[in-house]
A and B are shown apart, each in its own frame.
Chain A
Amino acid sequence: MKNEEIIHADEDGFFTIALNVNGELGHMIVSRNETLVEALRHYGWKGTKKGCDTGDCGSCTVLFNNKPVLGCMMPAVAAHGGNITTIEGLGTVRNPHPIQQAFVEAGAVQCGFCIPGMILSTKALLDKNPEPSEADIRKALDGNLCRCTGYVTQVQAVRIAAKKVKAMKKQQEKLAAKELAAEKRKAARKTAKKAAKKNK
């Protein structure tokens, strides 16, 4: 997003901020001490959970410019001009993201309250480190409290997710390569046709 867009405060101390949430560009009116998680939830992104308010549980984790942040620790105004991904932005209802599938497959979801945060922490980890070790995984998820599971299933989930994401990327690359090749062929055909016309 462009930096020129200015946040302005009205006389009641409300700010209008512009940000991109899950690919939707829009404005939010937020108060001075409103946190990002409150603002997101107020604007309907209820997938982001609030478990503590003190930065300890990780259930409010979202991606801010592709980095994980705690929504309860970040003032909403600070998100102005940024790109935010919440759990709703990962997959679609019909087509869940491989990390989401991996968590279900591994049996890592119980009550589910910690899961959106866990999944976004996982996304951030795999973006940076597509083949994490167990220690990397434990470290990346250490800020996400889960009171239901014994954490093993989540470590497994991240492993499965890593494989799935890799497979997905390969698939995407293949597809991209195919498209590229198809386009090239098309272009070649066009020039050939043109040349043929000219020759006539």
Chain B
Amino acid sequence: MEEQKLSFVGKSFERKDGLIKAEGRAMYAADREFARMLYAAAVRNPRPRIKILGISDEKAKKVPGYVTLVTYKDIKGQNAWPVLDLDYPFLPEKIARFAGETVALVVAETQRAAKKAASLVEIEYEELPNIQDPLEALKPDAPEIGGTTDMKNVYAHFTIQKGDVDKAFEEAAYKVEGTFKTNYQVHGYLETQGSIAIPETDGGMTIHSTTQCPYYVVDGVAAALGITYNKVKVIQTVTGGGFGGKEEVPALVAAHAAICAAKVGRPVKLIYSRKEDFQCMSKRHPGWAHIEYSADKEGHLTGCRVKYVLDAGAYSTITAIVLFRGTVHSTGPYKIPNIDVKTFGAATSKVPCGAFRGFGQPQINFAQESLIDELAAKIGMDPVEFRLKNLLNPGEMTATGQKLTSSCGLSELVEAVRKKSGWDKKVNLHEKKGHIAKGIGISTCYYGVGLGAKGRFLDRAGAMVNIYKDGSVGVSVGNAEMGQGALTVFAQIASETLNAPMELVKTEEVDSSKVPDSGPTVASRGTLMGGNAIIEAAKPLRERLFKVALDMLIDKGGTSGKMIAHDGVFEMDGITVSFTDVAKEGWNRRLKMCEEGWYVAPHVSFRLDNGQGDAYVVYSYSADIAEVSVDTQTGVTKVDKIWAAYDVGRIVNPMLATGQAQGGILQGMSWSLFENLQYKNGIMVNPNFTDYVCATTKDKPEYDITFIEKLYDEGPYQAKGMGEVPLIGVAPAVANAIKNACGVRIDSVPLLPEKVWRAIKQKNAAKEAK
């Protein structure tokens, strides 16, 4: 009866929230004010690991505007933050496990008074033994400092076993091995964490929070206050960046604000300073990996052994899910028949690490893709040729024995960047101008979209679509806008399904009381899950409206019965009606104009004992080629250009997708070259943007981005997920390019000038010795 080409999906609509933000009118958490609002500030643990003997506010009391001290005694609910495990107390009673941990809070009339008073609160303590190095933590004689599994100081461990690895290595024609390390990465979202808690008359609490996961905030606040979920309402404020950093920890910040607000009976605002944000909010886990690959005479990969350790910090939070992702992807996007992978999330006495764009993959991808280049070199093969020979193609099996059935364009991606970058010519060029050496390097990656087997209990999402009397449309979702463009992409998906003009569709920021728990907005699952939920909600509305439109067109003289719906109009035999008219007529007929949708991700069949089965429902893919200039006298590396190709399914909004890609590449480059968080004796040394360096405009490389859209039928308009792949492959591509430029392999991130410089010096010395 009807035909519809895509009118809204696949087009570069401007962001819905663009102008509001450009005019400075967007209301972030810190911008919101409420009558009689008080301010909270945290009292932080000054040492790595302490036994708390007492907390005194004697001096703090004298600060004008001081209201009260809040400690664990004020918690009316459970003093254990519900994440995956329950090891993280909202406020510690006896032991604080890392420097910077919130030990108590102070409430005061002004922000300034709260900060001042907090600095005057005295903690009496005894120092306890602590561990800084995750490998130390895994040793049998290490003191016990944490852990949530049967192994001491371990929050999670996984394994993948396939084939006969020992035999593979025995029979191998070529073998390589290497140990690689990566450092922390700080999210550096420009808006720091913050929450406002407003007590309601029924004993409930309304929270305004900057977050990617409003439903985690509901969990945290309900638990801390000991109240039922229907009394907690979380409203997501305009969120100034997330990148995973606003996944789990906003629940902690919000719970702290809520505990304070419940005690004083007035709204309480808690906004983090940048320094505090560095010291106690989540980070990308530092990674350590030892990898071995084996190959046969023709250069086919035959075996892979991996030992991978993440430095998880003082509490478990979501380390298990992060490590799971790292585990599944640890051998790289290759077909390898024999595999032995063992991974561990180790406790240390440092800041607890959590979600960060890439989620445990960038660390291992750096290690594994660096080593693949070494193997190719050993065999005497071009890195691109070697990859093409071994990459996963549709119909083939991943490390976990998952058969890639649909939507896999990895080889095509490699061919695309190879051609565009002029790889074949450049790779043997080793161009040198004075002391500047140019080089080129490649990396590939695959990325399981969504939460996968380890987080499958969370993999569902809801939406509500409401068509108003005037034909405007409200879309409520449970997945959050944090800068990536979700509000716009969701509106496009709703527009497409309803044939409603974009300007009539508004997506709301998340309000937890409107849409059921939709899980977190992480793991590149926003578009896939939220989008599908919207389609579920909009489908019945679409049926109704399209019927009405057909009637109206026939009434107006249409005879053929062939209706075309496009760009917000319905057409038959040259006669048209607009979406607005159809919607109004729907209301006249008293049709149901509001629907809810619910989408559940397909089941994944993964088994934890041997690590075999389907780990994720679908994968996105990337290939990156980096071109660098290395100053061989100083070791300074400059990334000149990145060619990247992605298969992320259908691109819903090319402008937004390109923006995400560029941002991801830059963040990946910044991590691989500059970002270097340091601890000394258990204390963070550089918790600020002065000494923790992020890339700025002057470091910007050139980008060349290609999307190869392998459509995924389960996805909303065949989209997969986009947020993370752009970051993952950058570091190994850069490291491989440095090797190509000046012959040195740097085995740890960041690829600092001193490391490059030292390696070059060593190489020259070795050459001279010969």
Closest Cβ–Cβ distance, residue B760 to chain A (whole Å): 29
Are B273 and A53 in contact, with the CB atoms below 8 A?
Answer: yes
A59 to B661 Cα, complex, angstroms: 23
Q: Which of B190, B239, B659, B697 contacts A49 (CB 8 A)?
A: B190
Residues of B within 8 A of A139 (CB): 698
Q: Which of A54, A150, A153 contacts B665 (CB 8 A)?
A: A150
Task: Given A147-B188, A147-B243, A153-B662, verify A56-B28 contact (CB < 8 Å).
Answer: no
Q: Which of B15, B27, B191, B703 contacts A107 (CB 8 A)?
A: B15
**Chain B CB within 8 A of A145 CB:** yes
A141 to B14 Cα, complex, angstroms: 23
Closest Cβ–Cβ distance, residue B192 to chain A (whole Å): 7
Q: Which of A88-96, A166-174, A175-183, A189-197 contacts B (4 or more CB under 8 A)?
A: A88-96
Closest Cβ–Cβ distance, residue A166 to chain B (whole Å): 19
The chain B residue sitting closest to A149, CB to CB, is B663
**Chain A CB within 8 A of B656 CB:** yes
Task: Given A47-B23, A113-B190, A115-B21, verify A53-B274 contact (CB < 8 Å).
Answer: yes
A112 to B242 Cα, complex, angstroms: 12
Are B700 and A138 in contact, with the CB atoms below 8 A?
Answer: yes
Residues of B within 8 A of A86 (CB): 24
**Chain A CB within 8 A of B429 CB:** no
Are A54 and B698 in contact, with the CB atoms below 8 A?
Answer: no
Residues of A within 8 A of B12 (CB): 107
Indicate with 1 or 0, residue by residue over B630-671, a CB within 8 angstroms of chain A CB atoms.
000000000000000000000000011011011101110000
Are A138 and B697 in contact, with the CB atoms below 8 A?
Answer: yes
Size category of the A interface is 35 or more
Residues of B within 8 A of A47 (CB): 23-25
A155 to B702 Cα, complex, angstroms: 12
Task: Given A93-B25, A138-B700, A150-B703, verify A107-B483 contact (CB < 8 Å).
Answer: no
Closest Cβ–Cβ distance, residue B638 to chain A (whole Å): 14
Are A109 and B697 in contact, with the CB atoms below 8 A?
Answer: no
Q: Which of A3-11, A76-84, A98-106 contacts B (4 or more CB under 8 A)?
A: A98-106
Are A50 and B30 in contact, with the CB atoms below 8 A?
Answer: yes
**Chain B CB within 8 A of A151 CB:** yes
Residues of A within 8 A of B694 (CB): 145, 147
Closest Cβ–Cβ distance, residue A8 to chain B (whole Å): 21
Are A147 and B23 in contact, with the CB atoms below 8 A?
Answer: no
Are B24 and A87 in contact, with the CB atoms below 8 A?
Answer: yes
Are B190 and A105 in contact, with the CB atoms below 8 A?
Answer: no
Closest Cβ–Cβ distance, residue B735 to chain A (whole Å): 20
**Interface-central residue, A119, A141, A147, A151, by most chain B CB under 10 Å:** A147
**Chain A CB within 8 A of B204 CB:** no
A145 to B694 Cα, complex, angstroms: 8
Closest Cβ–Cβ distance, residue A109 to chain B (whole Å): 5
The chain B residue sitting closest to A87, CB to CB, is B24
The chain A residue sitting closest to B653, CB to CB, is A107
The chain B residue sitting closest to A103, CB to CB, is B22
Are A54 and B15 in contact, with the CB atoms below 8 A?
Answer: no
Q: Count residues of B near A (Cβ-Cβ below 8 Å).
A: 57
The chain A residue sitting closest to B483, CB to CB, is A111
Indicate with 1 or 0, residue by residue over B175-203, a CB within 8 angstroms of chain A CB atoms.
00000000000011111100000000000
Residues of A within 8 A of B23 (CB): 47, 87-88, 90-91, 93, 96, 100
Task: Given A142-B697, A145-B190, verify A113-B15 contact (CB < 8 Å).
Answer: no
The chain B residue sitting closest to A46, CB to CB, is B31
Closest Cβ–Cβ distance, residue A102 to chain B (whole Å): 9
Task: Given A104-B18, A146-B190, verify A49-B663 contact (CB < 8 Å).
Answer: no
Are A109 and B689 in contact, with the CB atoms below 8 A?
Answer: no
Closest Cβ–Cβ distance, residue B500 to chain A (whole Å): 22
Q: Which of B24, B239, B666 contacts A111 (CB 8 A)?
A: B239
What does DSSP make chain B's interface, helix, strand, loop or mixed?
A: loop
Are B243 and A112 in contact, with the CB atoms below 8 A?
Answer: no
Are A46 and B24 in contact, with the CB atoms below 8 A?
Answer: yes
Residues of A within 8 A of B240 (CB): 49, 111-113
A112 to B237 Cα, complex, angstroms: 13
Task: Given A109-B15, A113-B191, A155-B697, verify A149-B274 contact (CB < 8 Å).
Answer: no
Closest Cβ–Cβ distance, residue A114 to chain B (whole Å): 5
Residues of B within 8 A of A51 (CB): 190-192, 274, 689
A150 to B666 Cα, complex, angstroms: 5
**Chain A CB within 8 A of B504 CB:** no
Are A148 and B700 in contact, with the CB atoms below 8 A?
Answer: no
A12 to B466 Cα, complex, angstroms: 55
> Which residues of A (34-92) have their CB < 8 Å from a CB of B?
41, 46-57, 59, 86-88, 90-91
Residues of B within 8 A of A133 (CB): none
Closest Cβ–Cβ distance, residue B27 to chain A (whole Å): 8
Residues of A within 8 A of B697 (CB): 137-138, 141-142, 144, 151, 154-155
Residues of B within 8 A of A129 (CB): none
Closest Cβ–Cβ distance, residue A98 to chain B (whole Å): 11
A-B contact count (CB 8 A): 174
Closest Cβ–Cβ distance, residue B127 to chain A (whole Å): 29
The chain B residue sitting closest to A89, CB to CB, is B24
Q: Which of B19, B274, B696 contacts A104 (CB 8 A)?
A: B19
Are A54 and B19 in contact, with the CB atoms below 8 A?
Answer: no
Closest Cβ–Cβ distance, residue A182 to chain B (whole Å): 33
Are B662 and A100 in contact, with the CB atoms below 8 A?
Answer: no
Residues of A within 8 A of B656 (CB): 107
A55 to B22 Cα, complex, angstroms: 21
Closest Cβ–Cβ distance, residue B325 to chain A (whole Å): 22
Are A52 and B688 in contact, with the CB atoms below 8 A?
Answer: yes
Closest Cβ–Cβ distance, residue A196 to chain B (whole Å): 53
> Which residues of B (664-710) have their CB < 8 Å from a CB of A?
665-667, 688-690, 694-698, 700, 703
Q: Which of A107, A144, A149 contacts B666 (CB 8 A)?
A: A149
A110 to B655 Cα, complex, angstroms: 11
A138 to B695 Cα, complex, angstroms: 12
Indicate with 1 or 0, residue by residue over A1-32, a CB within 8 angstroms of chain B CB atoms.
00000000000000000000000000000010
A41 to B25 Cα, complex, angstroms: 13
**Chain A CB within 8 A of B17 CB:** yes
**Chain A CB within 8 A of B744 CB:** no
A172 to B377 Cα, complex, angstroms: 64
**Chain A CB within 8 A of B362 CB:** no
Q: Which of A87, A93, A145 contacts B696 (CB 8 A)?
A: A145
**Chain A CB within 8 A of B371 CB:** no
**Chain B CB within 8 A of A187 CB:** no
The chain A residue sitting closest to B190, CB to CB, is A113
**Chain B CB within 8 A of A152 CB:** yes
**Chain A CB within 8 A of B443 CB:** no
Are A52 and B22 in contact, with the CB atoms below 8 A?
Answer: no
Closest Cβ–Cβ distance, residue B525 to chain A (whole Å): 19
The chain A residue sitting closest to B665, CB to CB, is A150
Are B688 and A148 in contact, with the CB atoms below 8 A?
Answer: no
Indicate with 1 or 0, residue by residue over A108-126, a CB within 8 angstroms of chain B CB atoms.
0111111110010000000
A96 to B30 Cα, complex, angstroms: 24
Of the A-B pairs whose beta carbons lie under 8 Å apart in the complex, a sample of 15, sorted by A's number, is A46-B27, A49-B28, A88-B23, A104-B19, A107-B15, A109-B17, A111-B189, A113-B28, A115-B24, A141-B696, A142-B697, A142-B698, A148-B190, A150-B659, A150-B666
Chain A residues within CB distance 8 Å of chain B: 31, 41, 46-57, 59, 86-88, 90-91, 93, 96, 100-101, 103-105, 107, 109-116, 119, 137-139, 141-155
Task: Kindly list 18 other residue pairs between chains A and B, CB separation below 8 angstroms, not including A110-B484, A147-B190, A151-B696.
Answer: A46-B24, A49-B240, A51-B192, A51-B274, A53-B273, A87-B24, A101-B22, A109-B22, A111-B482, A119-B22, A145-B694, A147-B241, A147-B667, A149-B663, A149-B666, A150-B666, A150-B700, A153-B662
